[in-house]
Structure formats: structure tokens, C-alpha cells
Amino acid sequence: MADASKDIVDGFPGDKKIIVVFVLGGPGSGKGTQCAKIVQHFNFTHLSAGDLLRAEITSGSRNGVMIQNMMNEGKIIPPEVTIKLLRRAMLDSANDKFLIDGFPRDEENRAAFENITKIEPEFVLYLDCPEDELERRILSRNQGRADDNTETMRKRFRVFKESTLPVIMHYDLKGKVRKVDAAKPVDEVFEDVKVIFAPLIAKV
């Protein structure tokens, strides 16, 4: 496990040591649920790239209008835009431990994050779950999400496998992936997650 003392962001106040854990897994793997439990138990701040983009759009800022226009035109949001929002949220926080959920989505995001923030994650929490179980969960949940139909869902699975799995493989080669079986009940998954996070918290 990397020494957190080198995870220092240029421009952070003081020599603020920043610990980042990426939380990755297919759609329906329980990222948000497990992040909420980690926040409560280990005092991390949870940052969701998607939530930050939506909040920026809602704010009506020039940046938000630009993001909305790009989405309306079907364009991909440049990684620099998302990373700047993440970095600003980290700067605004009094915390020094962050869970970044559902990001980086691809290798371009990963490289840009490391280049811009000068941070490598302490590790990647990978919530591994079979596709048939993910499909069952997404179709059974009743949240009124327009994208929770079979065709869209399978496209999301395909994007995850083609774009995000290479990120996980990159960090796995560096010994930075902590994989848990996310097909188990929520509380059992969190018991496995606690075993992963406890040594990190003890170290810092």
C-alpha cells in the first residue's frame, strides 16, 4: 500500500495530506450504499462525480451552462471539467480522506486525475458483482429512473466493461485493488469493506 504522505495536492492549504480511495463497480453494485456506510464508520467524505456535475448545472453558473449544453449535444464532458469540480470539493472540505464514487470511468479520466491533482489513490475498492445479479437489482428497484430499462442498462454494463475495467486492471497491476464480493447482502459486503479500511485508518 502506498505511503499516504506522498499524496499531496499542489495548492492545497498547508501541506495537507490527502487520502483518496476510488470506489468502482458495475451499475447496481452498491457503490452509493457502501460509500454511505464508509462515511459513517470511517469519517471519509464521499464525492460523486455525477452529483458534482449535476449540482454545477443546477447552480446556473457559466460552467454549469457549458456542461448542460455539452450534454444536450451528446458530447462527452472533458475529464478536466469533472476533475476541477472534484478538486474544488476537496479544497472546500475540512476533511483529508475522500471516497470518489464511480470515477475514473476510463483511462483518460484516470491519467488526467493523476496529472492534475498529483494524487494516486491509496487503493481502489472494487465492488465485484455478476452481471445477472446487477440486472436483477436494477430492474427490481423502484426509483423512477428513466434509464433503468433493459436496453440502457446493458449499454451501461458494456461501457463499464470496455472503459472502466481497464482502469481497475491498471491499478491491480500496481497492487492497489481491493476486491469484495458485492453479490452478498449489504451488511455482509460492509463487513468485508471494514476489513479493508481498518488498516488504512490505523496507519493515519
Residue type, 166: P
Reading the block at residue 145, the C-alpha cell is: 429512473
31 assigned binding-site residue:
yes
* CB atoms near residue 124 (< 10 Å): 24
103 assigned binding-site residue:
yes
Chain-centroid distance, C-alpha 148: 20
54 assigned binding-site residue:
yes
Residue count of the chain, please give it.
204
- Distance, in Å, from the CA atom of 64 to the CA atom of 72, rounded to the nearest integer, reads 12
33 assigned binding-site residue:
yes
184 assigned binding-site residue:
yes
Output DSSP code: residue 143.
S
109 assigned binding-site residue:
yes
Chain-centroid distance, C-alpha 98: 10
Closest CA to 10 of 80, 87, 86: 87
Reading the block at residue 173, the C-alpha cell is: 497491476
Reading the block at residue 185, the C-alpha cell is: 447482502
102 assigned binding-site residue:
yes
29 assigned binding-site residue:
yes
30 assigned binding-site residue:
yes
* Measured CA angle at 86 (ends 131, 12), to 5 deg: 140
141 assigned binding-site residue:
yes
Binding residue ranges for a ribonucleoside 5'-phosphate: 54, 102-105, 145, 156
Binding residue ranges for ATP: 28-33, 141, 184
Binding residue ranges for CMP: 109
Binding residue ranges: 28-33, 54, 102-105, 109, 141, 145, 156, 184
